Amino acid sequence: MDHSFLSAFVLLLLVLDPLGSLPIFIGIMREVPKERRAWVALREVGIAFLVLFAFMFLGGRFLELMHLSERSLEVAGGVILLIIAIRMIFGSAGDSAYGIEPGREPLIFPLAVPLLAGPSAMATVLLLASRQPERIFDWIGALTAAMVVSGLTLVLADRIRKLLGDSVVSAIEKLMGLVLTAIAVEMVLAGLKRYFVGGL
């Protein structure tokens, strides 16, 4: 499944799911002073960007080291995205796993990793870079743009929640989950097709 800059940007934005992260983010940031929340959000987004950026460039070597093919990565990435999409649509009882000790300011865990730079995002950037390495600058741009949107969403978390309301935020997350489901299925089908047909 080949991507354009726009489709890669949309895919990464769906995988990062900044709207879906709002409830978790708001809960974690209650322990952080209001004047530091914007800085903490931007710092964690920056760390997540660096993690995914590293995965993007080390993707080829990682595949060689683990003796993995692009086809297996495409199918595995699709399965991971499908699981994430199902959680987005039907909800998950595991959100409490992202909690931290009271009074502590989050650093890397759980906001940067795994909330933003989680397994699905890592698999996605690996797939983009390994599938079309000649367009690496497009993928860097798409990742940067998606991270900027995610950062703005988290910085404005309280305002967005008050403006839209919990029900609207939840509805948008479920709609994004439906779109991500279709993308995940397409990735799996493309990987299987390349495996059985032996295409490029």
Q: What is the pLDDT of residue 54?
A: 93
CA distances from 159 to 27, 153, 173, 199 (A): 14, 9, 17, 48
Work out the pLDDT band at 100, boundaries 50, 70, 90.
low
**Residue range of the domain that includes 156:** 5-197
Phi, psi of 89 (to 5 degrees): -75, -45
pLDDT confidence bin for 97, thresholds 50/70/90 = very low
pLDDT given at position 120: 78
pLDDT level of residue 92 (50, 70, 90 thresholds): low
Overall number of domains in the chain: 1
Distance CA 16, CA 88 (A): 12
106: cis peptide before it, omega within 30°?
no
pLDDT at 103: 61
**Most confident of the following: 10-14, 146-150, 169-173:** 146-150
